Amino acid sequence: MDDLIFRLRAVRFSYLNKYPALCGIDMDIAGGQKIAILGANGSGKSTLLQLLDGLIFPDAGSVEIFGRFLDEAALNDADFSGRFRSRVGLVFQNPDIQLFCSTVKEDILFGPLQLGLDRVKMKKRVDEVIASLGIGDLLERSPHQLSVGEKRKVSIATVLAIDPDILLLDEPTAGLDPQTSRHIMDIIIEANEKGKTVVTATHDLHIVEEIADLAYILSREKKIARSGPVEELLKDEELLRSNNLMHIHKHRHKDAVHIHPHQHLEHHI
């Protein structure tokens, strides 16, 4: 793979050296790809994204980015760290973590200001992001005054304002109404069409086909159960069921009780 960005080999990570979160992950991510990391709750999706963002480091194995090991020593190099943070952006699962400033505007400007982006370019970029997400009316508000959907959009804006090449998203549509969920998906698709590499962690199978071409399924054992084209993986009901991504659904049609496997490929209305 010529344009390889991330290369993970035999990555292991545990919390407090007691609770394993990832047990031997191999993964290659190339430029411009749309990748989904699928897995049930507690399968290690968020941990994996934090590793890719250089917020935590593996206990064993290696994470490489652009051919350089991503470790504490690398991120202590101010030059590398600045370039890395400008090129990789993570949208956290909990927007209340992401939005720590007093106002939405300050939150959006936080990243570009820390990274010392050119003021004129920064203003242009921020204005574009605000317009594309339709959050112009929220700028002077405090994050605690926003709805969940608004918080999520602003969280994405805080990362898009940096204009990273690689966008990592942790459960971007969790808990959102269908319309907001659709808007977030459109933002992800648009970012990829503009050449960004998008890695989305989710267990929402109904969004996967649109936001990813390639998927990695994390198992209960915190390993990669299977990877491959999304269409192919979604057809494998046994794989999805054994990894807690599908369940048997029982419901009533008129007078008859109907039982079938349920994948959350579509929203029930």
Note whether 72 binds other proteins by CB under 8 A. no
Neighbours of 41 (CB within 10 A): 9
Interface segment toward other proteins; rule CB under 8 A; list 33-41, 59-67, 93-101, 131-139: 93-101
Minimum distance between the CB of residue 15 and other proteins, rounded to whole angstroms?
12
Residue with tokens 């936080």: 110
Write the interaction track for other proteins spanning residues 50-69; mark x where CB under 8 A is met and - where it is not. x--x-x--------------
Among 44, 89, 149, 172, binds other proteins (CB under 8 A): 89
Note whether 18 binds other proteins by CB under 8 A. no
Minimum distance between the CB of residue 78 and other proteins, rounded to whole angstroms?
7
Among 39, 44, 58, 111, binds other proteins (CB under 8 A): 111
Nearest-angstrom CA–CA distance, 75 and 242: 38
- Smallest CA-to-CA distance from 171 within 150, 156, 186, 189 is with 156
Question: Hey, which residues between 122 and 151 contact other proteins (CB under 8 A)?
Answer: 140, 142-144
Note whether 120 binds other proteins by CB under 8 A. no
Residue with tokens 């933002």: 187
Note whether 14 binds other proteins by CB under 8 A. no
Minimum distance between the CB of residue 108 and other proteins, rounded to whole angstroms?
10
Minimum distance between the CB of residue 221 and other proteins, rounded to whole angstroms?
26
Give whichever of 62 and 81 is closer to other proteins, judged by the CB atom.
81
Minimum distance between the CB of residue 99 and other proteins, rounded to whole angstroms?
8
Note whether 165 binds other proteins by CB under 8 A. no
Note whether 101 binds other proteins by CB under 8 A. yes
Among 33, 43, 47, 158, binds other proteins (CB under 8 A): 158
Size of the site for other proteins (CB under 8 A): 36
Nearest-angstrom CA–CA distance, 49 and 37: 9
Interface segment toward other proteins; rule CB under 8 A; list 47-55, 130-138, 202-210, 221-229: 47-55
Convert the chain into a string of H (helix), E (strand) and C (coil). CCCEEEEEEEEEEEECCCEEEEEEEEEEEECCCEEEEECCCCCCHHHHHHHHCCCCCCCEEEEEECCEECCHHHHHCHHHHHHHHHHEEEECCCHHHHCCCCCHHHHHHHHHHHCCCCHHHHHHHHHHHHHHHCCHHHCCCCHHHCCHHHHHHHHHHHHHCCCCCEEEEECCCCCCCHHHHHHHHHHHHHHHHCCCEEEEEECCHHHHHHHCCEEEEECCCCCEEEEEEHHHHHHCHHHHHHCCCCEEEEEEECCEEEEEEECCCCCCC
**Residues in contact with other proteins by the rule CB under 8 A:** 50, 53, 55, 78, 81-82, 85-86, 89-90, 92, 94, 96-103, 105-106, 109-111, 113-116, 140, 142-144, 158-159, 162
